[in-house]
Structure 1
Amino acid sequence: MGIVIIIAIIWEILLFIFSSNEYLQETQLGILQGITDVEYRGFLQIGLTLTIFYILFVGILISRESIKSDQAIIQLKGKFLLTSFILFTIGSIADSQIPLDYITLPIIRFILIFSSICFYFGFILPKWLENLLIK
């Protein structure tokens, strides 16, 4: 846990330095494309990708423990969480690495929205879905 805190402090210092210079903002952070899209670059692109993989790693550990449970509802939540972490990783990497156009943008955003729905089912499984899937 200590290494994560040290990396986070270094990250914030570099982020502050890069955001204080206009040239570094464009080369290391990114450029706003339109109203809702950002083209990530350099430092920020690498940092966000590493963060996404860290989230995936921790998410797989949590999901794996849930799937090993003796309770059917916890196993089901673990499967939803595993699905959501994988879809979130795919969607986030695609969103930051692939140029977005009229074809890729809706597909990637659908993946991210579906991962959010799976997160919801994994953390707060509605009773109606529990009754539907666990018989």
Structure 2
Amino acid sequence: MRRRSHRTATASAAALAAALTVTGTLHLVRPRVFEGLIPRALGSPRAWVVGSGVAELACAAAVAVPATRRAGGYATAGLFVGVFPGNVKMALDSHAGARHWSRDPRVAWGRLPLQVPLVAWAWQVARSAEAGSGGR
């Protein structure tokens, strides 16, 4: 039973690392897609998009390595909470001529509750790593 739960935890961490790698890479390769999510009051949208892409890749690397998985999981949960205001802005700004990838308000608003399971997933990866290391 323990072996199966370890395998499940490892697979979950690998899947989270893969998802973060994809999204982080997208932020770096196609930054314009995300720039409309950044409130003007924060300054340069490009800097925020690139920074969040780098943060996602750093979290992916931390989650992928067993020795840093716990910290990576908690950092990822924090990152998911931190980007939530951008998702709210996307929903508020969603319309046919929007400057970001979600022009359909149903998609933009429907996406907001999905942040909760993402945070929970990252938290669970961190907790599983903690349990696997004896709480260290």
- Which structure: greater strand fraction? 1
Bigger relative contact order, structure 1 or 2, given CA contacts below 8 A and separation 6+?
2
User: Of the two, which has the highest radius of gyration?
Assistant: 1
TM range (shorter): 0.3 to 0.5
TM-score, length-scaled by structure 1: 0.39
Give the TM-score normalised by the residue count of structure 2. 0.39
